Amino acid sequence: MSIEIKNITKRFGNFTALNNVNLKVNDGELIALLGPSGSGKTTLLRIIAGLEDFEPRDGTDILFKGKSVVGDPIGKRRIGFVFQHYALFRHQTVFENIAFGLRVRRGNERLSRTAIKKRVLELIHLIQLDTLENRYPDQLSGGQRQRVALARALAIEPKFLLLDEPFGALDARVRQNLRRWLRKLHDEIKLTSIFVTHDQEEALELADRIVVMNEGRIEQEGMPSEVFHKPKNEFVMDFLGNVNLFHEREDGSSVLGSENTSDLLKKYFVRPHEIDLVPPDNGGRGLPAVVKRVQLAGSLAKMELVDADGREIYVEFSHEKYNVYQFQVGNSVLAVPRKTVVFDDYAI
């Protein structure tokens, strides 16, 4: 089911959390709301769920499948909401937590005990927590709690799934596994889902589409490869991964990071993997620098350089490429940007 958000503005006192936000989520999509803390991503998620209100104005609306849900109570929206710190019911077992949404149903929507039991056990199986159904939340690990929270949200057969920093409180390994598991689950059940994250890697790996937010506005939305390779502005470029900043001077020499020189012409952004390093005697244009640190563990060779003014440059090579020169700490090199990004809106 599709979601459409029109002209939503939300203020907390003097702070503008959302500034005229428009967003459309297509049926079956998995969307990431990506941004730093305070960018309004969680507020937007809570507004969609109905947990937060917004400024009523002309043209402001929230549509589920083309139908306005403004004013509908939260329960009626039928949304599976997974809270940041899970918000499991602490005095209820895993089974009771997951059954909650089914047990509170009223009128002709009520299910029989056996039907509830069947559905809950199915979900427990889905989240791979069989045999743990009688545990209490504080007897579970972080990853297990997260999965219980997800099963609880799925139990009510929601029209969408909204996840607030779903992996925020987990350690790196569990996070990796759970991320893949969630992606697989989404591919199986095809439930329209929005998740909030401040982790660009998580967004790039998991989402069909990424919505980059900053200061209550949407900076860019698009496929992961699109926002990564064709960032619309400095903010998106900077937020999606490491970036080196160069300035070009009128005399044609590139200077890294310095902003207080008057003869600057352009500002270049270069990703660490888009810089070449050559020995200084090779000649050619480039920025002279010294290798300060080499880190060879992992899938990439990572290097930190310092230029003559003490500014740092980050470079990433494949191991094959690294093996050509095998630069060591203390070597002098020339850093040559291969692909640079310049933003039009940048003015000196």
Partner 1 sequence: MMNTKTRWTEYIVPGIIISAVLVFLAFFLVLPLAVIFAEAFSFNAWLEGESTLAEGWHAYWESFDDKYALPAIKLTLIAAAIAVPANAVFGIAAAWCIAKFNFWGKNVLITLIDLPLAISPVIAGLIFVLAFGQRSALGGWLIDHNIKIIFAVPGIVLATIFVTFPFVARELIPLMQEQGTLEEEAAVSLGASGWQTFWRITLPNIKWGLLYGLILCNARAMGEFGAVSVVSGHIRGETNTLPLYIETLYASYATVQSFTMATLLAMLGIITLIAKAAVEWKVKRERMK
Binding site for partner 1 (CB under 8 A): 49, 51, 74-76, 78-81, 83, 85, 87-91, 100-101, 104-106, 136, 138-139, 152-153, 155-156
Taking the complex as a whole, how short is the minimal distance between the CB of residue 309 and partner 1, in angstroms?
A: 49
Tell me the backbone φ, ψ of residue 223, rounded to 5 degrees.
-65, 155
Sign of the CA dihedral running 172, 173, 178, 179: positive
Residue 169 vs 290, nearer CB to partner 1: 169
Taking the complex as a whole, how short is the minimal distance between the CB of residue 137 and partner 1, in angstroms?
A: 10
Taking the complex as a whole, how short is the minimal distance between the CB of residue 196 and partner 1, in angstroms?
A: 15
Taking the complex as a whole, how short is the minimal distance between the CB of residue 106 and partner 1, in angstroms?
A: 8
Residue 78 vs 119, nearer CB to partner 1: 78
Taking the complex as a whole, how short is the minimal distance between the CB of residue 95 and partner 1, in angstroms?
A: 14
Residue 32 vs 155, nearer CB to partner 1: 155
Taking the complex as a whole, how short is the minimal distance between the CB of residue 47 and partner 1, in angstroms?
A: 13
Q: What H or E segment, with its residue span, contains residue 63?
A: strand 61-64
Return the number of other C-beta atoms located less than 10 Å from residue 49's C-beta: 17
Taking the complex as a whole, how short is the minimal distance between the CB of residue 346 and partner 1, in angstroms?
A: 42
Tell me the backbone φ, ψ of residue 291, rounded to 5 degrees.
-70, 130
d(CA 146, CA 169): 9
Residue 92 vs 258, nearer CB to partner 1: 92
Residue 51 vs 169, nearer CB to partner 1: 51
Taking the complex as a whole, how short is the minimal distance between the CB of residue 127 and partner 1, in angstroms?
A: 16
Q: How many residues in the chain? A: 348
Return the number of other C-beta atoms located less than 10 Å from residue 287's C-beta: 21
The closest of 32, 7, 2 to 18, measured between CA atoms, is: 7
Residue 35 vs 101, nearer CB to partner 1: 101
> Tokens in use for 210?
């990424």
Residue 167 vs 269, nearer CB to partner 1: 167
* Structure letter (DSSP) for residue 83: B
Residue 153 vs 185, nearer CB to partner 1: 153
C-alpha distances (whole Å) from 80 to each of 3, 155, 169 are 14, 8, 19
Which is it for strands 254-256 and 209-214: parallel, antiparallel or unpaired?
unpaired
């502005």: which residue's tokens? 233
Radius of gyration of the chain (CA): 25
The closest of 38, 341, 27, 84 to 213, measured between CA atoms, is: 38
The closest of 151, 152, 155, 205 to 175, measured between CA atoms, is: 205
